[in-house]
Structure 1
Amino acid sequence: MLVNRRLRRIAATAVTVAVLGPVALTAPAAASALPAVPPAPAELGEIRGYPQQNVLPVWPDNPADASIPIGVIPYDDIAPKLNALQAASDRVSARVAGRSAGGYDLYAVTVTAPESRAEARQQEIWKRRIEDEPTWAQRDRALLAGYKTPLFVNANIHGNEWEGTDAALRVIEQLATDTSAETAQLLRRNRLVFNITSNPDGRVAGTRANSAGYDLNRDLTIVAQPETNLIRELIIDTKPIITLDLHGYVSPTLLHPSTPPHNVNNEYDLFIKHGLPNALAIEQDLRGLGYAETQRARIPFRDDEPGVWDDFPPIYVPSFAMLQSSIPYTIEAPLNPRGNLTPQERVRRSGINTDVHEVAIRTSLRYIQEHRAEVLHDQAEVYRRGWAGEPLRDIPDGYVPGWGPEDDYRTTFPRAYVIPTGAGQRSEPAAARLVDLLIGSGGRVWRAKQPFTADGRRYPAGSYVVDLHQPKRGLVNSLLEPGADITDRVDDLYAGPAAWSQGLTWGATVDTLWDELPDVRLTRTYDGRAEGSLPPGNGDLRLDLRDAADLLTVNALLARGVAVYRLADGSVVVPGTPGNRKLARAAVREHGVTFGRAPARWSGTRLDEVVVGYLGTVEERDTLADLGFATRALTAATLGGTLTADVDVLLVASTVNLANLPAESRAALDAFLARGGGVVGLGTPGAGFSNAAGLLSVTATAGPSLASGVANVVNHGGPVSAAAIPHAFISQPVWFTGLGAGVTVEQSYAADPLLSGWWATEGAGGQGAAANQASIVSGVSAGGNGVVLFGTDPTFRLHPKGLQAQLGRALLWAAER
């Protein structure tokens, strides 16, 4: 089937794909929708006209900017360029829209014809009504005639893929200065929004990641970095018809649409009917450049096997944008200008790449103009289906050339979700964080005004209700649903994760209501709130460590010199002195944590401040920061100078060859272990370190590198896994067998280990081999070292926040067993 599919798609190259009209598929009968939330008059009153011009601060000249040898614009020349364009044209509005992790300015630019305040206000009303009142918008003649259709260009998200920035500036300059009637008309009917360089840290340094060490094009829906927060804001605010994410380097030029698996929450029929024709048009226009290197493009949907270049996870800019009702593209320019090349060849390559990105922008803008009625209708149609609660469409084979059963990825939407508050909520801080993510990503959340019963469960007033009859239900459901097991559907993926589910892995209780919306008065909320609580009286206080906020509280109390005691189940007790209660009350206000009453006649181990030395990556560094631990960054070569007497526990997440350690490092490590230092290990590096150092004896087996997603786990109690969630996040899962004396299983994979994602069923690394095997073990070595080993992944890209407390518990136990 795969071979036939590929041949069929290649044959489709020569086929002209017609844009399907808005009634190409038969729609189910519309259900009644909740009334749209009207725009707030105060917000509309703040709308300003265009241009909205600002003098951008100019950065000092930097001869070391990695852009310079490539022949593209250095970062410090961008602000002067934009300032000059604003001075020369009333069509250009530029602003500093944020700061990168490294402190550089992030520039957002809007290009459009001038608008009075009243005109800009009308544009905003129309934009909101497309989402809030889509049926009205689809037939409103004034909107269809007068709305400025938006295009969003995100450039340079990978810092050492430079040329998108230069193409954006070139297009901005041409539109700003061209005096033709055609350009004037174009800007009267469109707004173009540019994120000029979404990774200036990497642009200057010549690195893919930002200065914090993160690949920003894996951070959408997690939004751990300031740069991705801006991208999210621009997509939601702009509501673009087409989104272009400009990259390099794949030869020939690669452009979406992608192979399956497709995200199961998308209205894919409304994307592919436009996504494929515009891709073919871009390919045709690239031929017109006349370069030998641009005579053919690679369109994964047409040219590649399933899984080679998919759009399954919502972590990429285009995948996130599609869930926002945009037609998105990754554009990979063809020629790599890095490496051992002559200066002339670098400039030649970067020039061609800039031309490629310019073509993608101009062709996409033309597509919007030529198909204006259809693309506006279909953007609103995504929202209309969400409000109406209609099922996803069954897309027939041949809907566009190359569409077949292998492309059929769909989910079933529940009627609603409830995120309880009060006693039914596992963690109030986790619930508030999840609600903030939903709202910040463009979803809608309500709170119950009174107590209510749904699906046989009783919920208190204030519980969050997520009605799935809402415009961006696909985005919301993508974050909350468990996800799909796609193991049997594909044997390849571009990259993990193959499932994510913030609803299951962020530590909050989330209940699914398949058939009912709670019968209770609801009010829309715009933020999550963790109230927290402190029991009355003057008794001792117990804190169950279920979330990073709880660990932050413990570490803050320890830093203030408060006596904190760890109980056998991993929870902590704070003596209820007036001073301690005052500090605990402040923690409730700051972190939303909930203290309970300590058990009578409790007994525990007093904790000291814990300093963690870590052998790992930025993910370990920042997870430890989220938990409030003092840290020391270590490497195998520098252990001798950094593994000092104040380090209490060693976190091992990177492979360390103990046999090849420098003598000074080995001596420092031996001294650390001799004084009883604790060790927490992640994955096979952690287990290998434990075995080599003679700590705990285990056999660690890793699944395939592609295996990732949400795992079913069984918690057996103990200081690490007590009160843990019944799901874990895995990225190349690891399990432990051959357990030596004194090794305790705290958590194991369930008999059916994979809930959602991809993980081969059979074989030495398959689910069958991992079933019922240990996923977290703990024990005390013969030398008195507390050791915990994880086969799950609590630090992956800062995503699995519901597992962070398990790591924190492990560190406290290993340091102060």
Structure 2
Amino acid sequence: MMLKSYVRKACIAFLMVGALNVHAQEIPTPKSFFGFNIGDNYNLANFTQTEAYLKKLAASSDRIKYTTIGKTEEGRDQFMLIVTSPENHKNLAKYKEISQKLARAEGLTPEQAKTLAKSGKAIVWIDGGLHANETVGIHQLIQTAYTFASRNDDETKNILDKVIILMTHANPDGQELQSNWYMRENTPEKRSLSGLPRLYEKYAGHDNNRDFFMLNLKETQNMGRQLFIEWIPQIMYNHHQAGPAGTIVAGAPYRDPYNYVFDPIIMTSLDAVGAAMHNRLNIEGKPGYTQRGGSVFSTWYNGGLRTTTYFHNMIGLLTEIVGSPNPMNIPLVPARLLPNGDSPNPVQPKVWYYKDAIDYSVSLNYAVLNYAQRYSDELLYNIYQMGRNSIDRGLKDTWSFSPKKIEAINANYAKETNTAPVSVTERKQIPEKYLDQVMKDPANRDARGYIIPSDQPDFTTAIRFLNALIRTGIQVQEATTDFTVNGKKYPAGSYIVKTDQAFRPHILDMFEPQDHPNDFKYEGGPPIAPYDAAGWTLAYLMNVKFDRILDGFNGPFTKLPVGELLTAKPKPLPANARGYALSAQANESFLAVNDLLKAGIEVLRDPSNGSFYVPASAKAKEALTKAERNFGMRLVAAEKPKNAKAVKPARIALWDVYGGSMPSGWIRYIMEQYHYNTTVIYPSDVDAGKLKDKYDVIILVGGSIPSRTAGGRGGQFNQDVTNIPDEYKSRVGRMTVEKSIPELKNFLEAGGNIVAIGSATNLASHLNLGVKDALTETTNGKEVKLSAEKFYVPGSVLSVKLDKNLNANWGLDELTDVYFDNSPVFKITDNNIKPLAWFNTDKPLRSGWAWGQSYLKDGVAAFEAPVGKGKLIAFGPEITFRSQTHGTFKWMFNQLYN
């Protein structure tokens, strides 16, 4: 009996081992599915294929769970693979909860946090495909998923045991478009990534990596929820291309400046993980990694998939690697050949294959994941510690340093001692009292919280702002009744954002001005461009009214559920009203007006202030009740304004170009959000003429109009139509001085209006209007553009003054914040041209970096010029920038009615 039992058990054990071996053999290789290995030259997988393969991989492996996190803008599923050991898969809810508790750090003692950290698993995010033309990103993700499904070495098993990996596709729509475009050519050697006919994210293209504090797009909203609300990983890794010439890959740690609101643990953690990545490549004999000053990437900016995570105490990693499905060469850059602290293991010129880039990427993933498994409990505890630090700073008087405060300390010292000013970077010792003079000034203290009153003019935009915060995991509170703080009374329904939260750095960054340091290659030399913007304070860009509260405060406040978006609270229409007024100060009024006009309901406009008037009727009440319910319209009973004029929707055209314009794409997004009907037109449509027969308003954005000295061509490029599908051929071409400008002039003279934004204001010069460039100086008898050494304002927030009585300015504040990126500034020489906005001070900077800003004084930022029966309305600043600048949307909206 004992022998039979033994034999029976042995047979069962043998069968189980056999089953496991069969299971392992069933894991599909990429080649068995796609027909090629990931990294084979001239081959790309599209999203449809990738989705099917990864579903099959997950079905064959107990290490991988296939999940979807939402729909894309084009309606595809956006997937996230959860990769970990089978045992961990049984307890995902538990590990997610531990990650959330430690990241939020609320109500946990250090001892409790250490216990949780030891019982938890490190969470690591790895994504791919955000920028679809950077094809290594998504293909390394496929290869990495297969590797973790199939490998059984100790390192892989240790990682699976100690780490939960979130492998996320950042842009499914883009992969489908780009891969299909590349693979359409039958001859492999003729395949090319160039010439994509439209943006690889429906609205934003490359700007999808600039949307992570705003979270406008469906894809970024999906990822934001996983990053900031659901999983809150300790490490996130964002794959990009391409590395600087003469290198293979640029990665952590990154160059200065870094944002002053970060916890210092973020910066030292970037050093540690970056060293692990760098070491891994060196050990494997893979040269060419560069860091810090070896590339342009810094940690200053908020808004990127990597960078927004810093403001949430996550170790955000970015690599930019060289690679293409077409073989390429690593060029000779002699200055890169000598080893240094940024690049201790330089690469020499060589042929570089796609598989090389995939191999490097998988090695870098393993470096990050191996670090995470070795230091899992430390990573979990450290994110708690950073969160706890933020909470503590928000509960007490705290003074943060910034360049302007250092300048103030040095200026006080220089004034009292009658000595030359000390530079911000000069390491001179001075008495401590000068520190106290500045840093103990209550005005320089960090806020304990912010109150957003519910009675502000554009409260619906304030709600949009709050929803952007909520999507990034910020805790918001609501006042249930009226209350008073510091002697000021606030109405019920006001919102409160306190800074005693783990994600305090992000709160400060959204409410407070950025103070970018003066950053030059050498003293008196050219400026070093920031990585993207220098200033972006979202409350300023959205014109949200708020009060900074410096002392601790409480009230009848209810904490709202984390991650739950605010919705408008319906209010009944005013009873027995003859009509209703909608304020021109509220963006949502324009949305409601567009719906009313589409329903055939009469809308009039008050010529004194631009407010809309809707005569009472059963149909109007029904439509306005719906608007009230969905968008929170503020309606008041009103009498018909004197001299009110009927509003009619304009026929709107929006310029675009073959390949897609990002500024134009963002305006398409805004138009859809606010329910405008818009026709997209291309240079060939302009050149065909008879524009006034079809349109009343044409919107032109940066890149559409050539400068006077640019050889007569605008737009992005001329594309050879030989190998372009018929549906895209009409988009090919650029605006020209010879054909396009005369047709635009004809349109204006016939009574059309043109809204020109950014460099599209070049049109004024082509039309010989009385407008000059204000940012010039006379040198040797010639008028020349100010050099960057004298004037340089990369993306920042500036203040302009405007005339509120002008129709184009209806609904805007007399002092309005604008997004300015070395934008055009004008000098008016014709009295028939009306300045709409101008710089009324020599210090207009509100947030960011403005070198030589005194040159802006009295310069015109926007103007309105008559041309025949029509008007050119020109805005130098980017009034629709990335659909973030809600405070200046009205400048465009006001022009879109007849």
The match for 2:555 among 493, 515, 519 is: 519
Q: Deviations over 1:90-141 (max 9, x none)?
A: 1110123333334443221011123489833432332232134467364235
Label 1:697 to 1:465 Cα distance change in 2 as closer, same or farther (>3 A): same
Q: For 1:110, give the aligned amino acid.
A: I
Deviation at 1:362, TM superposition (A): 1.0
Partners of 2:386 and 2:318 in 1: how far apart? 21
Partners of 2:309 and 2:892 in 1: how far apart? 33
Deviation at 1:465, TM superposition (A): 0.6
Label 1:642 to 1:370 Cα distance change in 2 as closer, same or farther (>3 A): farther
Partners of 2:327 and 2:144 in 1: how far apart? 28
Partners of 1:622 and 1:574 in 2: how far apart? 27
* Partner SS, residue 157 of structure 1: coil
Q: For 1:261, give the aligned amino acid.
A: P
Partners of 1:577 and 1:682 in 2: how far apart? 39
Partners of 1:341 and 1:322 in 2: how far apart? 34
Deviation at 1:564, TM superposition (A): 2.0
Corresponding position of 1:730: 820
Q: Does 1:448 align with 2:479?
A: yes
> Aligned runs of 1:190-339 on 2, under 5 Å?
190-196=163-169, 198-202=171-175, 203-204=178-179, 205=181, 206=193, 209-215=200-206, 216-236=208-228, 237-250=230-243, 251-267=247-263, 269-290=264-285, 294-300=286-292, 303=294, 308-338=296-326
Q: Contact 1:248–1:334 at 8 Å: present in 2 too?
A: yes
Q: Does 1:461 align with 2:449?
A: no
Partners of 1:680 and 1:532 in 2: how far apart? 35
Q: Which moved more, 1:431-440 or 1:196-205?
A: 196-205
Label 1:175 to 1:565 Cα distance change in 2 as closer, same or farther (>3 A): same
Corresponding position of 2:727: none
* Partner SS, residue 299 of structure 1: strand
Corresponding position of 1:785: 870
Q: Deviations over 1:206-244 (max 9, x none)?
A: 468424342122221122222222221222222222111
Q: For 1:698, give the aligned amino acid.
A: V
Q: Contact 1:467–1:517 at 8 Å: present in 2 too?
A: no
Corresponding position of 1:30: none
The match for 1:497 among 516, 527, 533 is: 533
The match for 1:757 among 829, 843, 848 is: 848
Q: Contact 1:109–1:195 at 8 Å: present in 2 too?
A: yes
Deviation at 1:579, TM superposition (A): 3.0
Structure 2 gap ranges (5+): 1-26, 182-192, 331-348, 403-423, 428-438, 522-526, 657-663, 713-734, 776-785
Q: Does 1:709 align with 2:799?
A: no
Corresponding position of 2:335: none
* Partner SS, residue 758 of structure 1: coil
The match for 2:117 among 111, 125, 144 is: 144
Partners of 1:771 and 1:352 in 2: how far apart? 54
Deviation at 1:670, TM superposition (A): 5.2
TM-score with structure 2 setting the length: 0.74
Partners of 1:412 and 1:489 in 2: how far apart? 29
Partners of 2:858 and 2:248 in 1: how far apart? 46
* Partner SS, residue 433 of structure 1: helix
Structure 1 gap ranges (5+): 1-54, 396-403, 762-766
Deviation at 1:620, TM superposition (A): 2.9
* Partner SS, residue 787 of structure 1: strand
Q: For 2:679, give the aligned amino acid.
A: R
Partners of 1:523 and 1:713 in 2: how far apart? 36
Q: Contact 2:451–2:497 at 8 Å: present in 1 too?
A: yes
Deviation at 1:437, TM superposition (A): 0.7
Deviation at 1:406, TM superposition (A): 10
> Aligned runs of 1:78-477 on 2, under 5 Å?
78-115=50-87, 119-133=91-105, 136=108, 138-140=110-112, 142-180=115-153, 183-196=156-169, 198-202=171-175, 203-204=178-179, 205=181, 206=193, 209-215=200-206, 216-236=208-228, 237-250=230-243, 251-267=247-263, 269-290=264-285, 294-300=286-292, 303=294, 308-338=296-326, 349-389=353-393, 391=398, 413-421=446-454, 423=455, 425-477=456-508
Q: Deviations over 1:391-431 (max 9, x none)?
A: 58889xxxxxxxx9699xx996310011111x3x1212101
Deviation at 1:274, TM superposition (A): 2.0
Partners of 1:136 and 1:669 in 2: how far apart? 65
Corresponding position of 1:31: none
Partners of 2:826 and 2:763 in 1: how far apart? 14
Q: Does 1:506 align with 2:555?
A: no
Supply the RMSD in Å over aligned alpha carbons: 3.5
Q: Which moved more, 1:617-626 or 1:527-536?
A: 527-536
Deviation at 1:652, TM superposition (A): 2.2
Deviation at 1:170, TM superposition (A): 2.9
TM-score with structure 1 setting the length: 0.81
Q: Which moved more, 1:355-364 or 1:120-129?
A: 120-129
Q: Deviations over 1:23-81 (max 9, x none)?
A: xxxxxxxxxxxxxxxxxxxxxxxxxxxxxxxx99x9xx9999x9985445443432343
How many correspondences in the alignment?
A: 726
Q: Does 1:592 align with 2:632?
A: yes
> Aligned runs of 1:764-803 on 2, under 5 Å?
767-781=853-867, 783-803=868-888
* Partner SS, residue 844 of structure 2: strand
Label 1:690 to 1:116 Cα distance change in 2 as closer, same or farther (>3 A): closer
Q: For 2:510, give the aligned amino acid.
A: L
The match for 1:554 among 593, 609, 612 is: 593
Q: Does 1:743 align with 2:833?
A: yes
Q: Does 1:576 align with 2:572?
A: no
Deviation at 1:755, TM superposition (A): 1.1
* Partner SS, residue 442 of structure 1: coil
Partners of 1:580 and 1:75 in 2: how far apart? 46
Find the structure with the greater CA-based Rg.
Answer: 2
* Partner SS, residue 139 of structure 2: helix
Deviation at 1:336, TM superposition (A): 4.7
Q: For 2:504, give the aligned amino acid.
A: R
Q: For 1:454, give the aligned amino acid.
A: V
* Partner SS, residue 257 of structure 1: strand
Partners of 2:736 and 2:698 in 1: how far apart? 16
Q: Which moved more, 1:380-389 or 1:527-536?
A: 527-536
Partners of 2:167 and 2:895 in 1: how far apart? 45
Partners of 1:606 and 1:786 in 2: how far apart? 20
Q: Which moved more, 1:115-124 or 1:371-380?
A: 115-124
Corresponding position of 1:652: 700
Partners of 2:742 and 2:82 in 1: how far apart? 59
Corresponding position of 1:528: 566
Deviation at 1:506, TM superposition (A): 1.2
The match for 1:567 among 606, 615, 622 is: 606
Q: Contact 2:574–2:636 at 8 Å: present in 1 too?
A: yes
Q: For 2:224, give the aligned amino acid.
A: R
Q: For 2:705, give the aligned amino acid.
A: V
Q: Which moved more, 1:598-607 or 1:103-112?
A: 598-607
Partners of 1:322 and 1:475 in 2: how far apart? 9
* Partner SS, residue 450 of structure 2: strand
Deviation at 1:299, TM superposition (A): 0.6
* Partner SS, residue 832 of structure 2: coil
Deviation at 1:710, TM superposition (A): 0.8
Q: Contact 1:532–1:594 at 8 Å: present in 2 too?
A: no
Deviation at 1:799, TM superposition (A): 1.5
Deviation at 1:664, TM superposition (A): 7.6
Q: Contact 2:862–2:875 at 8 Å: present in 1 too?
A: yes
* Partner SS, residue 353 of structure 2: helix
* Partner SS, residue 191 of structure 1: strand
Label 1:389 to 1:565 Cα distance change in 2 as closer, same or farther (>3 A): same
* Partner SS, residue 713 of structure 1: strand
